[in-house]
Amino acid sequence: MAQNGSSLTVGFSTISKKLSYAAFRDTDVNGSAGYVGRGKGLPPRRSRALAAVISAGLVGLLVLGACGEDDAEKENVAGSSAAGMNEAGSSAAGPGGAGDIAAGSGGAGESAAGSGGTQSLMDAAIADGSSAAGSAAAGTGAAGSAAAGTTTGGTSAVEDAGTTESGATDSGKTDTVRPTATSLSLPTIMETPGVAPYFNIYRPEDLEAAVAETAGLLPVIVWANGGCLRSAFTWEPLYKRWASAGFVVLAFDVGPDGNPIMMTSVDDQIALVDWALEEAQKQGSPYAGKLDTSRIVAAGNSCGGVTALGVAAKDERVAAVFVLSGSSALGTTDVNVMGAITVPVGYAEGGAEDISRAAATADYEALPEGIPAMIVARSTGDHMTISTDPTALAQEAEMSLNWLDLCLYGTHEAYDALTSPNICTGCEPGLWTLTSKNIEKLKK
């Protein structure tokens, strides 16, 4: 099965309808326990759902082989493939829907909302039998080794070759008032630089026009996927919405080997920050003079949330954090990580059945005094629903944009939206609730 030009060969052997949860130690993720978890019966969506199911099977087998800890613990298996994604450098490629991922569900016997019910996983096995779980992505520290905007599909993304303006200025502010992030809807594209730590870029199609329309340099989001896996398309609704609001999003995807199970780490996500800063100052890069290097966001889902918080604890260049159904240590809280964070942290969590909800609450309580933080929690919805359901992702995209608008720009309209009864457009009162502290200090 082709995946970004590489082949991932799989055989078939029987696995159960639910992948048993088991933990494994992964010191590369955050210097503490990391894990992937069980998959629940999943609905195939289009042909790409096959890749998601196979990835989930592979990870499940790796985990089951690694150890056999108590099935009472649970976590997300986020696996998919970017195979078939159009990288012609024109319109944003990939399937428009989300939910093509195999993700762990916290509620016993529950199916994800909108998933169409529970469905047996396909039989899957790893052809070569080797475990890639927990391994750090190769090439860490090589970020910035090639210019962004490497041509994809023969079309060059370079738009401002020769510019030498540094992207390290404060924010590129002008006298023009910046529009709210949720009011923007810029055309976007996806491109793949093809350099370590291997990622896709989702961004406004015309960087120059985007800088003008947003009245400032473009903020950057470095994103880590659920399961810390190298498979990006499940969360494309988030990336595309963020990019259309004037953000440049760097999201991990498969490397040259096409293997989505090569897990990413805190250091890999820091390498994304390094790459963005280098490109912001590199002569001839399309990003030179376009990126706001004072406004970098670490974000991620589930295990990717672990690494995002780990980045914020280690890297002073991060200005804000957004975590989707996750916490600082999957299934629990790392008080050392939370105690080291000095920037605003926002969470979007599910209902009581979301396996990360309690840990996210503990994270919130463990932050140093005075740090702005919020949890927007859905009245219902397990880990898979919050992580992959298209309707939930659309709502989370809007709420996260308001969170980032408030954190990065102090936007009063964003504060008003988050503290309103509905919290998101079209959401009935009570579907989402806000728990927050110190966020009023973010208003400017």
Residue 263 located in a structural domain = yes
Handedness of CA 343, 311, 383, 48 (dihedral sign): positive
Residue 159 located in a structural domain = no
End-to-end alpha carbon distance in the chain: 51
Which structural domain, as residue segments, surrounds residue 203? 181-442
Q: What is the DSSP letter of 59?
A: H
How far apart are alpha carbons 323 and 300 in whole angstroms? 5
3-state secondary structure 242-305: HHHCCCEEEEECCCCCCCCCCCCCHHHHHHHHHHHHHHHHCCCCCCCCCEEEEEEEEEEECHHH
Burial of 30 (0-12, 13-18, 19+ CB in 10 A): buried
Residue 41 located in a structural domain = no
Domain count along the chain? 1
Output the pLDDT for position 54.
Answer: 34
Residue 437 φ/ψ region, left for φ over 0, alpha for ψ in the -120 to 50 degree band, beta for the rest: beta
Kindly give the confidence (pLDDT) of every residue in the chain, 444 residues in length, as a single tens digit, with 9 standing for 90 and above: 333 333 333 332 332 323 222 332 333 444 333 323 323 333 333 333 333 433 443 333 333 333 333 333 333 333 333 333 333 333 333 333 333 333 333 333 333 333 333 322 223 332 333 333 333 333 333 333 333 333 333 333 333 333 333 333 344 444 468 999 999 999 999 999 999 999 999 999 999 999 999 999 999 999 999 999 998 889 999 999 999 999 999 999 999 989 888 899 999 999 999 999 999 999 999 999 999 999 999 999 999 999 999 999 999 999 999 999 999 998 899 999 999 999 999 999 999 999 999 999 999 999 999 999 999 999 999 999 999 999 999 999 999 999 999 999 999 999 999 999 999 998 988 999 999 999 999 999
Residue 387 located in a structural domain = yes
Residue 239 located in a structural domain = yes
Residue 314 located in a structural domain = yes
Residue 2 located in a structural domain = no
List the CATH number of the domain containing 383: 3.40.50.1820
Q: Single out the residue of 240, 147, 133 nearest to residue 194, CA to CA.
A: 147
**240-274 core/surface letters (b: 16 or more CB in 10 A; e: else):** bbbbbbbbbbbbbbbbebbbbbbbbbbbbbbbbbb
Six token digits for residue 5: 């030009």
Residue 313 located in a structural domain = yes
